[in-house]
Structures are given as C-alpha cells and as structure tokens.
Amino acid sequence: MKLRIFQSDKGDCLLLQSRDGKNVLCDGGMARAYRAHARHLLPDLIGDGGRLDYVYVSHIDQDHISGVLQLLNDALDWKVFDHHQQNGVSSVREPDFPRPAAIGGLWHNSFRDQVGDNAGPIGDLLAASVPVLYGSAVPDLVDMAHDAENIANSIPEALKVSRICKPDLLDVVVNEFPGSAGPAKLLYFRDQPQSFHVGDLKFTIIGPTERELDDLRQGWNNWLNDPEKNSVAKVRAEMKKRVEAFAAGQFVGSPFDLRNWNGVKDFEGVTVPNVASLMFMVEEDDKKLLLTGDGQQDKILDGLDAAGFLDNGHLHVDVLKIQHHGSEHNMDRDFARKVSADHYVFCGDGSHGNPEPEVLDIVFKSRIGPASRRALAPEAEDRRFKFWFSTRADKLPTQSAKRRNFEEVEAKIGNWESEHGDRFSAEWVARDYRTLTI
C-alpha cells in the first residue's frame, strides 16, 4: 500500500495505491494546489492504461472538494475536445494540461442530498453573513466568517461535482461500491459494518451514521428557518447589533456560529459539514490506514467501535490521517490514547493555526510522555513513529501568519527529533508530493 501525500494548501489531497495497481484519490485539496502539484503528476503516477478506480470526497468543505471539481472539469474539457476532433472540428484547441486518467466512480455525499431543496438558500444566507463578520474586525466574528465563507464557497462546488458526473456529461457512477446492487443516495455506516474491496484494498465505512446525517439535516433546517435569518437585511442588522454588543463587552455569541447551533448539540466545537465526513478504515493484508476526513474525534471512536476495530477500547494502525488538519476542535487526549499509529499524516499549511501546537503535543506525548498520557495499544509501546506534513514553512508566503505558524511547528518538531531521534522522526513535502509506503 502506498499513500502519496500532495501539497494541497490548507486541504487534503492523497492518492492511495494498492499493490495490484488500484488507485483511489482521497480528496483533492484546493483547486490551485491541485493544478500546481497534482494535475500534471497523477497520470504518470497512475501509469499508462491505468485509471482512477475511485475518487473519494470526504465532505463538501472547499479545501477537500475544489481540487476534485478541477479534476472533473479537466476531464470534461478533454471530452469536449475529443468530441470536436471526432466530428472533424479542428478549431477547438487541445487543453494545455495532461489528459486525466479515466475515473471509475465517485464516493460523495452531495450537499443537496443531505439537505434537500434548502441547499441554495443556506448558501445565500451564509454568503450574506460573510462581509459583515469580516468587517467587524472582532477575532471571534472573523473566525465565524472563515467558517461561513468556506461553506458558502463549497456549496456551489459540491453541486457542480454532482452535475458534472451526470450521464450527459462525464457519466461517472456516484456512490456505487464494488459488488453492490446499485448506487446509494447517501453513504453512511449502517447497523452492521459495510465492507467492500477495490482490488487488494478492503474498505470499511466507519462514519457518518444515518442518525448523524438526519441530525445534520434537521440542524441546517433549524438554522435556516430561524426568523432572525430570513432575509439579508436581517442578517446585516443582527450582525451589526452583535458587533456593537461585543464592543460594549456584552458579546455572548452569534446565530451564525456554525460550531454550536440549534439542533445538533452533539456536534459542539466542529463546523457543520465536518460532522458528515465520510470516513474509512482501509486494509491490505495486515496493514491498516484510517481515513478520517475532518471528523469529530468522539464520532470516529464510535464508528471504530461499532465496526469492531476497537479491541479492548484501543487500536493501533499503520497510518492515521489526522482529522481536520490537526485542529484542536477534533483531537483530544482520549482519542490519541485510544488510536495510535506508526505514521501520523498532517495535511494543512498553517491556515487557521493548523496543525495546532497543542494537537502536536497531544499526539507526541501519547507516544513519549508520562504513563497517564501514553497510547493504550501494546503495539505502540517503545515503537518508532513518524509525523508527515503536507508542506514546509519555506513553501509558504513570507511574512504570512501561516508561515509563522509552520515555522513554530518545524521548531517544535526539530527539538523532538534532537531529543528523541531513536523513536521519532518527521517527513515534509518539499516539492509536489511524498510517498509513504507500508
């Protein structure tokens, strides 16, 4: 099993390859990063005559889906060019990028299928809140603006992904697993573990659950139907009122806080689309890779337990894709103790402080720390482990906050390597990608 870790800006972009030549693209990162680092390399990595057997979108956040949309647009551009060539039209220019590999299928819980006809109104209200939140210059509100803007931008991209896959365009089958009776509207963990094979790779869904998707749909509808948000004018008036309250020392929250909102009390601390992350355990013989998307730590543990992967309450895997770029909202000591790995993969570029230094500390001390902090799995005891990062500080804009964040990460990692080089090491993606082989 090989995992190609691409430069992906603040997002995730991973190519999973089996020993028998199967290929699964796990998220696509930001579109600009996909164009710069993955577009020209994927055909060569897959090889002549090969294909992307599946493309997997964990959830609709822009930093996961926009690179996939770019891939699909590239494939569509080449299909249009081929159509004109076959019909003797020579005036259409050949695309100036490599022809993408054929795509066998897409796994993606579309936003419209999650929330129904409210997808458009939700996006409109989110977009209306963004300039007011940014304009406040209040740190708490600016954080909310990041969340709202990300989702508002992601919704139309998610709708485009679904549209391009339709039979009249690319004709890519959506949500049909190998051996299944047909495509499913939504993919989720059912009452019994659901597993399938892509060549030698065995995939098992660990989340989301049907209840989580139902709660998410209800929460979105509650949020949308709140009378405080039923017009753009009210959006602006409400935000102005709350900014003024903050300035007076009376700020107590916002109806636009997408972390703690009506109808999904169990999802506190995690932005809304993240709780719907499609997550898999992938196995090849005795090797295990846990793909977590931007999942919430307790929901990941629940899914692992329900799928039968938590042996006596703990699990050791070969590779753990750290959830949500190393955000403090998605990692805690309990998770790090219960799930350990030989390789921890952090995808992100310092945006929004990710990976958080606190998260690095939590994971590191779960392997080299006091007994009360260490991983519970016997396999983790005194075993070497490695952190993988999808970029380096010198690849980020000078004087930027995210570069400063990553310089702090590199300094911390450097100290740990100096002190614990017999147990710990790190790898950084310095160019387009790095390959993790297990």
Strands 339-346 and 315-321: parallel
Range 45-64 average pLDDT: 90
Instruction: Look up residue 272 and give its DSSP letter.
Output: G
Least confident of 73-87, 105-119, 219-233, 296-310: 219-233
Range 379-404 average pLDDT: 96
- Cα(367)–Cα(206) distance, integer angstroms: 25
Residue 268 reports pLDDT greater than 60 = no
Residue 234 reports pLDDT greater than 60 = no
- 173 closest CA partner among 164, 187, 161, 183: 183
Length of the chain, in residues = 438
Helices (H), 87-209: 111-115, 119-135, 139-164
Confidence bin at 63 (pLDDT 50/70/90) = confident
Q: How far is CA 370 from CA 77, 109, 213, 314, in A?
A: 56, 41, 38, 18
Report the SS3 class of residue 110: coil
Confidence bin at 149 (pLDDT 50/70/90) = low
- Cα(41)–Cα(45) distance, integer angstroms: 6
Q: What is the pTM of this model?
A: 0.86
Gyration radius of the chain over CA positions: 22
Instruction: Look up residue 179 and give its DSSP letter.
Output: T
State pLDDT tens for residues 108-126.
Answer: 987 666 666 666 666 666 6
Q: What is the mean pLDDT of the chain?
A: 86
- Predicted confidence at residue 305, as pLDDT, reads 97
Range 164-184 average pLDDT: 93
Residue 320 reports pLDDT greater than 60 = yes
State pLDDT tens for residues 402-424.
Answer: 999 999 999 999 999 999 999 99
State pLDDT tens for residues 83-97.
Answer: 999 999 989 999 999
Q: And the tokens for 230?
A: 């039923």
Q: How far is CA 246 from CA 29, 139, 400, in A?
A: 35, 11, 27
CA-based end-to-end distance of the chain: 6
Percent of the chain beyond pLDDT 70?
77
Q: And the tokens for 25?
A: 């693209």
- Identify the sign of the CA torsion 33, 362, 143, 69: positive
Domain boundaries, the chain: 113-152+209-273
Cis peptide before 121 (omega within 30 of 0): no
Residue 255 reports pLDDT greater than 80 = no
